[in-house]
Amino acid sequence: MAILPITKENRRFPRVDYHLPVRYQLGGKQVFDNVLCNDISCGGVRFTSEEFIPTSTPVMLEINVLNRILRPVGKISWSMPVPHSDRNQIGVEFMDFNVLERNYLEDFVSLQLKEI
């Protein structure tokens, strides 16, 4: 068994593991789907979905952060099947975000990071 060195992630935005309710609507569709995010940062969100969503697909989000609904617009940056299941991990990059909502998310993420 090989021992792998511990590597530091080179992320532009630190992420926190936090399960928040998320509604998302893919470009061209009329309905929203409901999921829980796996983690979130000021740059994007990761969630698990039962559908495969191709990269670059535009997505409108409604993220419930402490009873405040944030509505960023993003695009699917990656989509990967979960082994031994019919589900997919989805990574969304925020592309358009109201400044006040982004500031609220930044404060939320900062508070969560301080608690770790």
3-state SS track over 88-100:
EEEEEEEEECCHH
Position 28 scores a pLDDT of 80
CB 39 within 8 A of CB 46: yes
DSSP-derived letter for residue 13 is S
Q: Residue holding tokens 């699917």?
A: 76
pLDDT at 12: 80
Name beta bridge partners: 88: 49, 81
Please list the residues that pair with 22 across neighbouring strands. 35, 63
Profile the chain (116 residues) by mean pLDDT over runs of 10 residues: 45 87 92 95 96 95 96 97 95 97 96 83
pLDDT for 10 equals 57
84-89's contacts with Cβ under 8 Å and 24+ in sequence apart are 86/50, 87/48, 87/49, 87/50, 88/48, 88/49, 88/50, 88/51, 88/52, 88/53, 89/38, 89/46, 89/47, 89/48
The pTM is what?
Answer: 0.86
